[in-house]
Structures are given as C-alpha cells and as structure tokens.
A and B are shown apart, each in its own frame.
Chain A
Amino acid sequence: ETGVTQTPRHLVMGMTNKKSLKCEQHLGHNAMYWYKQSAKKPLELMFVYSLEERVENNSVPSRFSPECPNSSHLFLHLHTLQPEDSALYLCASSQDEFGGANVLTFGAGSRLTVL
C-alpha cells in the first residue's frame, strides 16, 4: 500500500445512478488530487485541493462533484454519468500543492464502468 487508499476498487453504475468514490491518505499531506485515466490518453487532472480548499477545477462537467471534508479524505460524487466517463479514477496526494518537485503518491484507483 502506498499510503493512499481508494474505495471501491471497481464500480459499475447506470447512467441514472448516484455513487461516490472515496480516497483517504495517511501521509500527512496537505494537497489531494483527482485524476482521470482513460485508455491510451495521458492522465487528466480533474480537481486539486490544498488544505481542504479547492484550488483548481479543470473544466470538469458538473456531474462530477468533489468534496474534501478534511485534509485526509477526498470524495468524488458521481451522478447522471455518461458511458464515456468510464475510466480509472486515481486519487493522489502530495506534501504541498505549491512549490516544485512535489512527488505525487497515487492510490490504486477506482475502475468505473458506466452502462
């Protein structure tokens, strides 16, 4: 385990469902991230939280809603998704969001399939 835990590891949902992805980090990091990884595409940054405050939202559709209740937990709430949203969703954390050479520690990911 890397210190970043994601649940569930696999999720299948219909387009009308509402579900949530959870991420927890045990590293004492101040920044947390959601990334989307689709086949044969680079990782896409979705959201960045620094000290529980959202600092970046990369033009992500509103059907994805992040929540960061404290510095150790990050959620991604999903509703009325589309089949093209099927992907691996990766959570990551780093010591700080600012400054150079921050190494990201990734979780194992949540494999999402939208039917």
Chain B
Amino acid sequence: KNQVEQSPQSLIILEGKNCTLQCNYTVSPFSNLRWYKQDTGRGPVSLTIMTFSENTKSNGRYTATLDADTKQSSLHITASQLSDSASYICVVSRDTNFGNEKLTFGTGTRLTIIP
C-alpha cells in the first residue's frame, strides 16, 4: 500500500534553534518527493522537490535530504524563525502506466516556534 508517514506529529522549539522533520514512505514506483509548507489558514506552498538521483537540496534555511534506498527523507530547518511556524507536508509521487503521476500525502508535522 502506498503510504507516507511523517514524524513527529507536532514539534515546539525555541526561536533560533534547528530542527529536523522526518518522512518515511512506501510509495512505489518512486518518481519524486516534495516538501510543502502550509501556514495556518493558507494553502500549501512548495519548498523543494527531489528526484531519485538527488540526495540533498537546499532552499534558504531549509535543507531536504532523500535516501531512496531506505525510502526516507528529512527536512532540516536551520536557525528557526517565528515565520517558520506552520505545517510541513511530505508528498511522494509515483508514475502510473497512463503517463500521469499520483501523489500520496503525509499528514504533516505541525511546527511551532516560540520566542
């Protein structure tokens, strides 16, 4: 069964600290993995997208890693800011026989940054 599991469900850290969010998946055949940030009351916004051959990808203070062998990804946030408070959603894509792609969403990690 195609599934995406994220941990922890929620996380509270002090402003300025680093944190790492985890994503494990069983989606097959794998096409790509995306991380989205969703602020409260807003739609998800894409942070990064990684294909099979990419191990690490950065977007400012956000660094995503992918281990396609163990089917794990992480999102590391450096020097957290109050604006990083949001839900972070891991999404894994698989290609179908029809030439399109199917997305499997995780339930997200709710991150709260406190001053």
Residues of B near any A CB (own CB < 8 A): 4, 31-32, 34, 41-46, 49, 51, 89, 93, 95, 99-101, 103-107
Contact = CB atoms under 8 A, between A and B. Distances in A.
A102 B85 CA distance: 26
Contact of B32 (A2, A41, A100): A100
A101 B51 contact: yes
Interface in A69-115: 90, 92, 97-109, 111
B106 A42 contact: yes
A92 B34 contact: no
Contact of B4 (A42, A92, A98, A104): A42
19 contacts: A2-B45, A4-B43, A42-B105, A55-B100, A90-B43, A90-B44, A98-B99, A98-B100, A98-B101, A100-B51, A100-B95, A101-B49, A101-B51, A106-B43, A106-B44, A108-B42, A108-B43, A109-B43, A111-B41
Given A97-B100, A98-B99, A106-B43, 17 more contacts: A2-B43, A6-B43, A42-B4, A42-B105, A45-B103, A55-B100, A98-B100, A98-B101, A100-B31, A101-B32, A103-B34, A103-B46, A104-B46, A105-B46, A106-B44, A106-B45, A108-B43
Interface of B is mostly: strand
Interface of A: 2, 4, 6, 40-43, 45, 55, 90, 92, 97-109, 111
Given A2-B45, A42-B4, A100 B107 contact: no
A42 B106 CA distance: 5
Nearest to B3: A42
A106 B43 CA distance: 5
A26 B41 CA distance: 21
A102 B91 CA distance: 12
B41 A108 contact: yes
